[in-house]
């Protein structure tokens, strides 16, 4: 694929905040953007050339999107894999590809793939019944984390199983659906790395971020994280192995458990731009959103060197009411998502606090 010239049209499956920021980045590079999302007047749709209001599996909508756009991507990993396959069959250039989507949509397949490319994870067991759960607890020990194999995000669809006596209740709590049981990780802190791979196979890796979660939802990322050279080198090697193993095009988020002394385990991957990479908007010349557009459009990847230290904080629910106070702070950059209703726990915006390096 030759680099897309400015004036080309890029399609995005998903109209939330990630789609919105991707669309804004694409516009800066001279591209037109069309959003496909079932929610009319979506946050991304309002900053784009147009929006197709339809379900993600609507065959007519997918056909129109594929014929209108010279490249198509997605803002979240739970878009139906069949929709991506349909776009590809219609001749659309979709990035990242269906392999990345399939791996990220199934936690058992994800961990199997990761270990296969040399990106270690915690020990795990596939769970399809209460008997499987009990056997997994016997092998992995308690406490262990039970998660649904598919979907579930920001702490949803998961429960800690602290003893075999809790197994039946835990199995019921996740709806008795296919699951994964993960051994507890004795980690020092949580890190993440945002990396990109272009159509020419070149890879760019941003500095690591250190993350703090609250209630299963990311609250804060500080980047560049304070890490030693061994840890940085290992994280970069893990990201590279994943990108090449998936023949990946675009930006990828990798969440890591830091065990200390350069030892890292992969918690999970996200085949898209990622919340822990929002710091790059004000900490790097080329942020993760522009980087993703560059990659899927066949452009050269942009620079990833940090020019500032950033503390990114998510604003959830009524946190958004602080917008005027935050906007008045000279070292803060406020990024609002354009969502009308501030529901509890809903990501409404983020703010980057900037400290020059």
Q: What is the pLDDT of residue 107?
A: 95
- At CB < 8 A and 24+ separation, what contacts does 44-53 make? 44/12, 44/14, 44/15, 44/16, 44/17, 44/19, 44/20, 44/75, 45/15, 46/20, 46/338, 47/20, 47/23, 47/338, 48/12, 48/23, 49/9, 51/15
Nearest to 109 by CA among 229, 117, 25: 117
Report which secondary-structure segment, H or E, holds 315. strand 308-316
Q: What is the mean pLDDT of residues 49-59?
A: 97
Q: What is the mean pLDDT of residues 13-40?
A: 98
56-88, pLDDT tens digit by residue? Answer: 999 999 999 999 999 999 999 888 888 999 999
Q: What is the pLDDT of residue 216?
A: 81
Q: What is the pLDDT of residue 153?
A: 61
Nearest to 207 by CA among 286, 90, 140: 286
Note whether 108 and 180 are within 8 A (CB): yes
The mean pLDDT of the chain is 95
Nearest to 197 by CA among 98, 102, 303, 291: 291
pTM: 0.95
Nearest to 12 by CA among 44, 59, 55: 44
What are the phi and psi torsion angles at 176 (to 5°)?
Answer: 50, 45
SS3 of 96-133: the string is CCHHHHHHHHCHHHHHHHHHHCCCCCCCEEEECCHHHH
Q: What is the mean pLDDT of residues 266-286?
A: 97
326-346, pLDDT tens digit by residue? Answer: 999 999 999 999 998 999 989
124-176, pLDDT tens digit by residue? Answer: 999 999 999 999 999 999 999 999 998 766 556 889 999 999 999 999 999 99
Report which secondary-structure segment, H or E, holds 177. none
Q: What is the pLDDT of residue 181?
A: 97
What are the phi and psi torsion angles at 178 (to 5°)?
Answer: -50, 135
Query: What structural domains does the chain harbor?
Result: 9-94 (3.40.50.20), 123-183 (3.30.1490.20), 189-356 (3.30.470.20)
The DSSP 8-state label assigned to residue 4 in this structure reads P
Question: What's the token pair of residue 305?
Answer: 């060197």
Q: What is the mean pLDDT of residues 84-95?
A: 94
Rounded to 5°, the CA angle 193-76-275 comes to: 35
At residue 268 the predicted structure's pLDDT band, cuts being 50, 70 and 90, is very high
Q: What is the pLDDT of residue 94?
A: 96
Report which secondary-structure segment, H or E, holds 213. strand 209-214
Q: What is the pLDDT of residue 127?
A: 96
The DSSP 8-state label assigned to residue 329 in this structure reads -
Helices 59-68, 81-89: inter-axial angle, 10-degree rounding? 50
Q: What is the pLDDT of residue 152?
A: 65
Three-class secondary structure of residue 251 per DSSP: strand
At residue 198 the predicted structure's pLDDT band, cuts being 50, 70 and 90, is very high
């Amino acid at each position: 694929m030759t680099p897309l010239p400015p004036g080309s049209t890029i399609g995005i499956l998903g109209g939330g905040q990630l789609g919105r920021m991707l669309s804004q980045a694409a516009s800066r590079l001279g591209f037109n953007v069309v959003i496909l999302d079932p929610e009319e007047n979506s946050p991304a749709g309002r900053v784009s050339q147009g929006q197709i209001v339809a379900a993600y599996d609507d065959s007519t909508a997918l056909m129109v999107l594929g014929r209108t756009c010279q490249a198509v991507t997605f803002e979240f990993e739970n878009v139906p894999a069949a929709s991506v396959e349909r776009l590809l069959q219609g001749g659309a250039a979709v990035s990242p590809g269906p392999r990345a989507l399939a791996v990220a949509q199934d936690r058992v397949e994800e961990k199997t793939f990761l270990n296969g490319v040399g990106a270690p994870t915690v020990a795990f067991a596939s769970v399809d019944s209460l008997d499987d759960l009990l056997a997994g607890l016997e092998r992995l020990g308690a406490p262990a984390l039970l998660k649904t194999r598919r979907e579930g995000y920001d702490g949803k669809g998961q429960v800690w199983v602290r003893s075999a006596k809790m197994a039946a209740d835990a199995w019921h709590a996740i709806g008795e659906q296919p699951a994964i049981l993960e051994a507890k990780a004795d980690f020092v802190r949580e890190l993440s790395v945002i990396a990109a791979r272009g159509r020419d196979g070149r890879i760019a890796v941003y500095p690591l971020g250190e993350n703090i979660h609250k209630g299963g939802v990311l609250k804060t990322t500080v980047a560049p994280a304070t890490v030693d050279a061994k840890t940085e080198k290992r994280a970069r090697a893990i990201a590279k192995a994943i990108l090449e193993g998936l023949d990946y095009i675009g930006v990828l988020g990798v969440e890591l458990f830091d065990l200390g002394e350069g030892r890292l385990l992969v918690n999970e991957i996200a085949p898209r731009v990622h919340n822990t990479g929002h710091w790059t908007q004000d900490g790097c010349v080329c942020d993760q959103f522009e980087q993703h557009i560059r990659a899927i459009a066949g452009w050269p990847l942009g620079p990833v060197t940090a020019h500032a230290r950033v503390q990114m904080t998510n604003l959830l629910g009524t946190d958004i009411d602080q917008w005027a106070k935050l906007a008045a702070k000279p070292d803060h950059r406020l990024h609002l998502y354009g969502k009308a209703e501030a529901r509890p726990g809903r990501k409404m915006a983020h703010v980057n606090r900037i400290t020059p390096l």
